[in-house]
Amino acid sequence: MEEQNVCKTFGSGVMQTFNTTMFHVKTTCPVTMTHFSHAGVDCFISVQRDPNGLMKRVEILVNKVATIIQNGILTVEGNSISLPYDHTYQKVYAFGIYTRLTSKVLPLSVTWYSLSEGVTLLWVQLDRPLVDGMTGICGGINSSETQAKLLDRNVIHDGICVTGDSQPVDDKICSDIKSNARECLGKRLFIFEQLCKKNMYINVHKSVKCSFCEEFLHSCNYTYAQLSKLRNITSCEEHHCPGDLQYKDKGAAFPPTCSNPWLQTEFHTATCLPPNGLVLNNRVEGYHSVKVEDCPCVHRGRIYAPGEQRSTKCQTCECIKGKWICSANTCVTPCIIEGWFVTTFDGKQYSLPGTCSYVAARGLNWTITIRFSAMTIEEIYLDVYQERYILSLKSVQLRENIITTTDLSQTEYVTVYWQSSMFVKVQTSFGMKMQVQVSPEVQMYLYLPQNVTTTGLCGSNNNNTEDDFTTSSGIVENSAQPFALSWTLGDCTANHPYVCINTDNEIFAEDKCSQLTNTSGVFAQCHEYVPVNSYFDACIQRTCQATSGLQERVCVGLGNYAKACASQGIIIGDWRAETACTPSCESNLKFDYTMRACNHTCRSLSAPDPTCDMPDDPVEGCGCPPGTHLNTPLRCSPRALCHCNYPGGTTPPGPLVIDGRQWYAVVILCCSNTLLVPVKELSRK
Ligand SMILES: [Ca+2]
């Protein structure tokens, strides 16, 4: 079990430090709860109360992201948000009757109870040992500071706010609870009495009184009758739940819903739950509970009744118990390696732990290994039988022979050709296909027939995600890191950073990558088909870590989502123009989203083009517009200007003198890419 440290504030100013000391602070000044830095991430949490004891302002600053609750309104970086809210660095969501913020960069959560008038309860939980140099009223390691010193250092005076003495007030609620809850309070009786009297100062808000009593009494196992009696004393009402939900002092923090009908028992807290056996219909407005059989489904913002069907490019789906039950996917899903972000054949997504060399996939007579430089693939090696292909930025080679954009390389087992300036296709005789993006970044898309299983980073290709983290020694791991490290070659250290290298990168990345998630943006039409969040996170990370060419990194991130959408039949349109991502092309080549290799080179005029026999979806990249052909050297030429291919080279249009045998030379004519019969035989030299 990880070490948990909890610091809490409730009532009109009760503080409970990490070392569980409790005291009362009566102030309308901001109070620093905790402030520390860990792993390069700064964390600062403060609260400020009204004269009536309600917290009117809570400020949570983690990794420079400001989350503020003020006058009942929750904002993140100045924008009002709705729950659940998922940000690169944090999540904010309903947790029982509370709201919880969980950081993704620190093992930290902050939970609070919010009323429209203010916050009555807040606790900070740190799931790790306390760190050095912690300040704040929550205390730190071996905190030996006196209460007076803690107050002095952590109550921030601004000249307007007032700090008073926490004078005990004789209050009937305190004495009545004391005598009625003596047994439950046990050892806490003394501290209860002491704090209760300080908590109940004049003008204290009713909810603040209730928050105080609830905190002390919620661990008591009282019967309904006993609870009613205590409620009579405090005149606190039972928490009111919305719709037909029912309040439970202790129950599942997340109610079962149509999207997630299983009752999760991991977290228990004060909560609102549907009546027994029902689930919350979270697919419609309001809080209505239904039988799971009556749950509707949602697709592209449309609600489907139970039993209703819909069809997509790859499958037919039926709405059953709030879930889409789909026929087998007829589209072959590739293993995708885009920078450090991997999607296995069976659809599991994870990120690689470091700049290493890995076995991406291995079959009977072939192995694909990838070597990284920083966050991008430097080289891909494909070993098939005795042949080694090396793919890198704008380059493909078979052993030491370079395969240029106009070439077609064919051996017994492997055919390699360029689909456009951005994509190289590798087709094997045994059904394995690989598409490699070679510009502006090396990325890999690997396709295997259904019945072929593999090992490596790409998983097992058996339609079961559970065994995708199988290590090189055959053990199935739970997490990505040990699994991925087992497939490394040579020295390797896990060095995956999770925070931006600087603030400028961070702002740029957030701004540009949010074009993906923008619900009225160019990518919105695909959101229902391909979940966008993992692409957004990947876009942020690849841009955050870049030391140069930030815009290009963003374009790669956006392009990866557009590619995933295209594979589901959703064509985004001219997104590159809208996002300043249109690449410039060499020579007189033109950029297009639908380039095809088939019959697009001058070479293809000399002989039947084998690429026309290989089924390819069109790809984006630079290539030649219709009516022109890719010529050597790199240029789009009309047919008449095409060079001719002959065994041993290419030649421009016109007569070609080939040295024949020792005494003879042959002149043939290249015309419209066709080598004509010898027109002239030269006489003996
Ligand atoms: Ca699998």
Mean pLDDT value of segment 581-590: 94
Task: Give me ligand 1 centre to Cα 347, in Å.
Answer: 9
Q: What is the pLDDT of residue 680?
A: 47
- Is 619 part of a structural domain of the chain? no
Q: For residue 567, how far is its CA from the centre of ligand 1 (angstroms)?
A: 21
Helix axes 206-217, 172-180, angle to 10 degrees: 20
pLDDT for 259-306, tens place per residue?
A: 888 877 788 888 999 998 899 998 888 889 999 999 999 886 789 999
Residue 339 CA, ligand 1 centroid: distance in Å: 21
Alpha carbon of 456 to ligand 1 centroid (Å): 11
On whether both 437 and 466 belong to a single domain, the answer is: yes
Residue 559 lies in a domain: yes
Do residues 441 and 390 both lie within one domain? yes
Q: Is residue 617 part of a domain?
A: no
DSSP summary character for residue 261: -
Q: Using 50, 70 and 90 to split pLDDT, how confident is the model at 392?
A: very high
Query: Taking the CB of residue 632, how many other CB atoms lie within 10 A of it?
Result: 20
Distance 478 CA to ligand 1 centre (A): 13
Same domain, 532 and 388: no
Q: How confident is the model at residue 659 (pLDDT cuts 50, 70, 90)?
A: low
Beta-sheet strands, E only, within 21-89: 22-24, 26-27, 30-38, 41-49, 55-62, 65-70, 73-76, 79-80, 85-86
Say yes or no: 14 and 62 in one domain: yes
Helix/strand/coil for 389: strand
Q: How far is the CA of 435 from the centre of ligand 1 (A)?
A: 21
Residue 526 CA to ligand 1 centre (angstroms): 26
Question: Rounded mean pLDDT of the chain?
Answer: 88
DSSP reduced 3-state for 62: strand
- Measure 566 CA to ligand 1 centroid, in angstroms: 24
Residues 344 and 309 reside in one and the same domain: no
How far away, in angstroms, is 468 Cα from ligand 1 center? 4
**Domain range holding 51?**
5-164
Does residue 313 share a domain with residue 357?
no
Find the 153 Cα to ligand 1 centroid distance in Å. Answer: 56
Q: How far is CA 602 from CA 117, 182, 585, 651, in A?
A: 75, 94, 19, 11
Residues 148 and 277 in one domain: no
Please list, in sequence order, all residues whose beta carbon lies within 8 angstroms of the beta carbon of residue 1, skipping any fewer than 6 positions away: none
Take residue 490 and report the two structure tokens written for it. 């040579």
Residues 186 and 321 in one domain: no
Q: How far is the CA of 523 from the centre of ligand 1 (A)?
A: 30
Does residue 100 carry a pLDDT above 80?
yes
Number of domain units in the chain: 7
Ion ligand 1: protein residues whose beta carbon lies under 5 Å: 346, 459-460, 462, 464, 467-468
Same domain, 423 and 478: yes
Quick: pLDDT tens for 473-521: 999 999 999 999 999 999 888 887 778 889 999 999 999 999 999 999 9
In this model, does residue 547 exceed pLDDT 70?
Answer: yes
Residue 603 falls inside a structural domain: no
Cα dihedral across residues 481, 353, 365, 444: positive or negative: positive
Shared domain for 423 and 289, answered yes or no, is no
What is the separation, in whole angstroms, between the first and last Cα of the chain?
A: 92
What CA–CA distances, in Å, run from 32 to 46, 134, 348, 440, 531? Answer: 4, 11, 42, 47, 39
* Structural domain includes residue 621: no
Residue 284: C-alpha distances to residues 38, 244, 296, 305 (Å): 42, 14, 9, 12
64 and 158 assigned to the same domain: yes
Residue 376 inside a domain? The answer is: yes
What residues pair up with 268 in beta bridges, in sequence order? 252
The answer to whether residues 285 and 380 belong to one domain is no
Q: Tell me, what CATH number does 77's domain have?
A: 3.40.1000
